[in-house]
Amino acid sequence: MAAKKSAIDVNLIRELANLLNDTDLNEIELEEGETRLRLSRGTGDAAPQYYAPAPVAAPAPVQSVTVDSPAAAPAVAPSASGTPVPSPMVGTTYLAPAPGADNFIKVGDTVKAGQTILIVEAMKTMNQIPCSQDGVVASIDVEDGQPVEFGQTLITLK
């Protein structure tokens, strides 16, 4: 079997790499026909970007209960504040479909299962987040443009 010759010119790559160093550029992109070549370098002195974790609401106080038998314990403890709707992904929240538009929901609105409650942008993709069940919006637990984590409460339903 004959080896397939690469369409990439190694000498060209070396020349472009030298050009990056000589000109203090961080990136060069070259496109010729169907061949596309992109060289980039880390400067080493660029400050890394860090995101602070989103604030998490304090959990509701828990009552102390003595249980005589495991069968008597409830499967899920009801929450005094309502039913949380968690984020299905990590991303940035947007409460409206577009800048300047009305929010999808507001406190006191009645929502249906499947209704869009907000958008979470992840990897430059706008993901409409549906409500998981019917209810009334008791609180909106995130702000517009706020980063959220997987499982973080977006809204609380009554």
Which of these, 155, 102, 95, lies nearest to 119 by C-alpha position? 95
Contact call for residues 117 and 94 (beta carbons, < 8 A)? no
Average pLDDT over residues 49-58: 58
Label residue 65 by pLDDT band (50, 70, 90). low
State how far the Cα of 79 lies from the Cα of 133, in Å rounded to an integer: 16
Tell me what pLDDT residue 31 has. 75
Label residue 73 by pLDDT band (50, 70, 90). very low
Tell me what pLDDT residue 76 has. 32
- Residue 71, Cα to own-chain centre: how many angstroms? 39
State how far the Cα of 144 lies from the Cα of 104, in Å rounded to an integer: 11
> pLDDT higher for 129 or 73?
129
Q: Which domains does the chain have, with CATH numbers?
A: 10-40 (no CATH), 81-157 (2.40.50.100)
State how far the Cα of 118 lies from the Cα of 116, in Å rounded to an integer: 6
For residue range 111-156, list pLDDT tens digits in order.
999 999 999 998 888 899 999 899 999 999 999 999 999 999 999 9
For residue 142, give the DSSP letter: S
Q: How many CB atoms lie within 10 A of CB 136?
A: 13
Q: How many CB atoms lie within 10 A of CB 95?
A: 21
Counting residues of the chain whose pLDDT is more than 70, the rounded percentage is 69
